[in-house]
Amino acid sequence: MAAIKIAPSFLTADLGRLAEEVRTVEAAGADYLHLDVMDGHFVPPITFGALVIEAVRKVSRLPLDVHLMIEQPERQLEAFAEAGGDILNVHVEACSDLRPVLEKIKSLGRRAGVCLNPDTPISAIEAVLGEADQIIVMGVNPGWGGQPLQPGTLPKVRSLRALLDERGLAPDIEIDGGVKVNNAASCAQAGAGVLVAGSVVFNDKASVAENMRALREVLATIEAQA
Ligand code: DX5
Ligand code: ZN
């Protein structure tokens, strides 16, 4: 099995020390930086926008995985591309017509990601599977870090993986929300190649480096199997 990517999310990090937190996860072996943009409409909280993405861009060379939990994301794509986002992920629930939105992301020279909420079936994105570079299967309802993984997530990832294989398509599958040390291996075995890691990495129980190491260790056991 190819190496599983870990994408730390900063929702439970110390945002007053964001640059330091970025350097710390980078040194601990993060593959992507996952940045959660929330607008107060698509989800109740408001987090940050393109200015913060630009600030992170200045302190890291890692790919920036920008998760747009916003209504009408098509209006903001240029701003997030210019700010330095590498993968721009939009929610199918926020787009009346997904295909042109994914095409626009690619025309900006960025990778196009599409996200599915826990209650949204795979059929909602079936017609655009060939356009997506990445598919985010939400493991929780978006808006907050630290929630438990919803039980329907892994069967959904397995079905999506089977459908992609059947069609000969190879976008990355990312699971976002609810990833813990005790379920990370099952997430990868279900077919996810990228795992977002929020509160499992940024918490007050252990250091970021120790938490990243614990995740890497459980993933190494299954990476070695295939
Ligand atoms: C949820 C966000 C996630 C979240 C993950 O709305 O999109 O990226 O930060 O946090 P954990 O890993 O704590 O579930
Ligand atoms: Zn996210």
Whether 34 and 9 have beta carbons less than 8 Å apart is answered as yes
Token pair recorded at residue 134: 């990445």
Q: What is the pLDDT of residues 20-71, one digit of tens each?
A: 999 999 999 999 999 999 999 999 999 999 999 999 999 999 999 999 999 9
Ligand 1 site-directed mutation target among 33, 174, 176, 204, most atoms within 8 Å of CB = 176
Closest listed residue to residue 34, CA positions, set 125, 145, 153: 145
Edge-first strand listing for the sheet containing 5-8: 5-8, 194-197, 172-176, 134-138, 111-116, 87-91, 64-69, 33-38
* Ligand 1 atom 1, closest CA: 142
Distance of CA 194 to the CA centre of its chain: 7
Q: Give the Cα separation of 111 and 156 in Å (integer).
A: 23
Token pair recorded at residue 199: 């509160």
Output b/e per residue, 193-218; b: 16+ Cβ within 10 A: bbbbbbbbbbeeeeebeebbebbbeb
Confidence of residue 2 (pLDDT cuts 50, 70, 90): confident
State whether the beta carbon of 35 lies less than 6 angstroms from ligand 1.
no
- From the candidates 31, 39, 133, 176, give the one annotated as an active-site residue: 176
Q: What is the pLDDT of residue 226?
A: 63
Distances (CA, A) of 210 to 58, 182, 202: 26, 15, 10
Stretch (H or E) spanning 25: helix 18-27
What distance in angstroms lies between residue 175's CA and the mean position of ligand 1's atoms? 10
Closest listed residue to residue 130, CA positions, set 163, 175, 93: 163
- From the candidates 36, 39, 65, 133, give the one annotated as an active-site residue: 36
The mean per-residue pLDDT over the stretch 129-152 comes to 97
Q: In the chain, pLDDT over 90 holds for what percent of residues?
A: 97
What distance in angstroms lies between residue 220's CA and the mean position of ligand 2's atoms? 24
The mean per-residue pLDDT over the stretch 89-117 comes to 98
State whether the beta carbon of 137 lies less than 6 angstroms from ligand 1.
no
Active site annotation includes 133: no
Whether 34 and 22 have beta carbons less than 8 Å apart is answered as no
Active site annotation includes 65: no
Report the mean per-residue pLDDT for the chain: 97
